[in-house]
């Protein structure tokens, strides 16, 4: 019998809760995350530990059949991938923030300004929809430092508790989108694997109900 391949974040904010929900639906995995691939006991599932940003492409190509991933990453990567279930953890929003001391009258203030971000497509689409043009600097992490070191006038990144913004003397001025962890499905999943996924979705729903 073929196994359903599920991608989860190798490390980062989604990892622990992803493993927990798999455990809660009865998919237990032996080896730790030093292995890049693991088989579940008693269930036709293989887990692949991957980098967040790579997961949308793997889904699109059918290298993996499903994934637990932040919806914000799917949106950023622009792949047409179905969200099968919202998973109710790792809520965050993708926001634009500016230094606390800066006056902010509206999005037009960002016209011609430099914005540091790990979400270039998301912020580009948003600015375009508002008729604003800015210069984007793509950074992969620690984005909030950029205004403090003179690299940018504003940033666009995910905000969860808000503590990173606070510590870096930034204030949220635009909320582009809200996101949470989701179960995403490859557009080319086989019928046989879809059956396994249906069982998983059924179990996820009851676990989420129980958590309410
Ligand atoms: C993430 C994100 C924000 C922060 C938001 O960074 O890029 O910086 O968390 O969370 P908060 O609102 O609860 O502070 P992360 O710590 O994952 O590090 P990185 O940006 O260097 O990848
Ligand atoms: Mg960060």
pLDDT tens for 76-116 read 998 789 999 999 999 999 999 999 999 999 999 999 999 99
Ligand 1 centroid from CA 158, angstroms: 7
pLDDT tens digits along 127-175: 999 999 999 999 999 999 999 999 999 999 999 999 999 999 999 999 9
SS3 15: helix
* The predicted structure's pLDDT at residue 20: 95
What does the alpha-carbon distance between residue 67 and residue 173 come to, in Å, rounded to a whole number?
Answer: 31
Question: Pocket residues for ligand 1 (CB within 6 Å)?
Answer: 13, 141-144, 157-164
* pLDDT at residue 66 greater than cutoff 70: yes
Q: Please, what CATH class does the domain formed by 92-179 belong to?
A: alpha beta
Atom 16, ligand 1: residue with shortest CA distance: 142
Residue of 78, 64, 77, 70 lying closest to 36 (CA atoms): 64
What does the alpha-carbon distance between residue 4 and residue 44 come to, in Å, rounded to a whole number?
Answer: 6
* CATH superfamily of domain region 4-90+180-211: Periplasmic binding protein-like II (3.40.190.10)
pLDDT tens digits along 173-201: 999 999 999 999 999 999 999 999 999 99
pLDDT tens digits along 110-129: 999 999 999 999 999 999 99
What does the alpha-carbon distance between residue 34 and residue 24 come to, in Å, rounded to a whole number?
Answer: 22
Helices 15-24 and 191-211, interaxial angle, to 10°?
A: 100
Q: Is the ipTM of this complex over 0.85?
A: yes
* pLDDT at residue 33 greater than cutoff 60: no
- The segment(s) of the chain belonging to CATH 3.40.190.10 are 4-90+180-211, 92-179
Atom 22, ligand 1: residue with shortest CA distance: 141
């Amino acid at each position: 019998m073929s196994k359903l391949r599920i991608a989860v974040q190798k490390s980062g904010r989604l990892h622990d809760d992803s493993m927990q929900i798999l455990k809660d639906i009865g998919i237990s995995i032996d080896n730790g995350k030093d292995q890049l691939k693991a088989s579940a006991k008693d269930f036709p599932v293989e887990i692949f530990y991957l980098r967040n940003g790579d997961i949308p492409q793997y889904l699109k190509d059918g290298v993996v059949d499903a994934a637990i991933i932040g919806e914000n990453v799917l949106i950023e990567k622009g792949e047409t991938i179905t969200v099968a279930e919202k998973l109710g953890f790792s809520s965050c929003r993708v926001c634009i923030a500016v230094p606390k001391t800066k006056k902010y009258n509206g999005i037009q203030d960002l016209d011609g300004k430099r914005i540091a971000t790990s979400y270039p497509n998301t912020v580009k689409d948003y600015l375009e929809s508002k008729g604003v043009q800015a210069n984007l600097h793509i950074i992969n992490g620690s984005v909030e430092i950029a205004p403090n070191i003179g690299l940018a006038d504003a940033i666009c990144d995910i905000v969860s508790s808000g503590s990173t913004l606070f510590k870096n003397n930034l204030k949220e001025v635009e909320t582009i989108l809200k996101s949470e962890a989701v179960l995403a499905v490859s557009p080319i999943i086989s019928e046989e694997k879809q059956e396994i996924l249906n069982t998983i979705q059924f179990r996820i729903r009851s676990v989420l109900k129980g958590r309410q």
